Amino acid sequence: MQNFNRYLIFYIILAVGLVIAWSQVGHRAELRQEAGLSLMQTEQDCRPRKAPCAAYAGHFALLVGPVPQGPALLVVAEKLPPGAALEVIQLDRQAHELEAPLLRPQGEGRWILQVATEAIQLRLTVAAEGRRWLAEYPL
């Protein structure tokens, strides 16, 4: 009977911990939605340094792919909202933010992006109409 009580207490503590953890996850998701930030869906097996890779939001997309000349990447926006601004962040292996990469406009929703060789993740944020969309690309 004593072992049963120990197991019962263990499972009660485990259940309380899970409830608290899930409530924290839900709270964070609510905060993100209130801030107007939406995550874009990125293709599986995405490696933009090797082949073009897209991230989708309901009505527009961002395509990132290699440029034949050197380590730069080409960013192509498809049907961006009017007045949209593009922000780029690159991260290293320790998730430290690296210096902002050079983003050169090429016209008609196209940019050439100079990515650091030590960058392993790229975050593109589109801001328009009081909302923000975030796309993450592994490099």
Residue 61: Cβ-neighbour burial (10 angstroms; 0-12, 13-18, 19+): middle
Q: Measure the CA–CA gap between 72 and 85, rounded to whole angstroms.
A: 20
**84-136 confidence digits (pLDDT tens):** 888 999 999 998 999 988 888 888 888 999 988 899 999 999 998 888 899 99
* CA nearest to 131, candidates 64, 77, 80, 74: 80
Q: Identify the pLDDT of residue 16.
A: 79
pLDDT digits (tens, 9 = 90+) for 19-56: 777 666 555 555 455 567 888 888 888 889 899 999 99
Against a cut of 0.75, is the pTM above it? no
CB 122 within 8 A of CB 47: no
Q: How many CB atoms lie under 10 A from the CB of residue 92? A: 13
Instruction: Give the start-to-end residue ranges of the domains of the chain.
Output: 1-35, 37-138
Instruction: Give the domain 37-138 fold.
Output: Immunoglobulin-like (2.60.40)
Q: What is the pLDDT of residue 5?
A: 78
Q: Specify the pLDDT at position 90.
A: 93
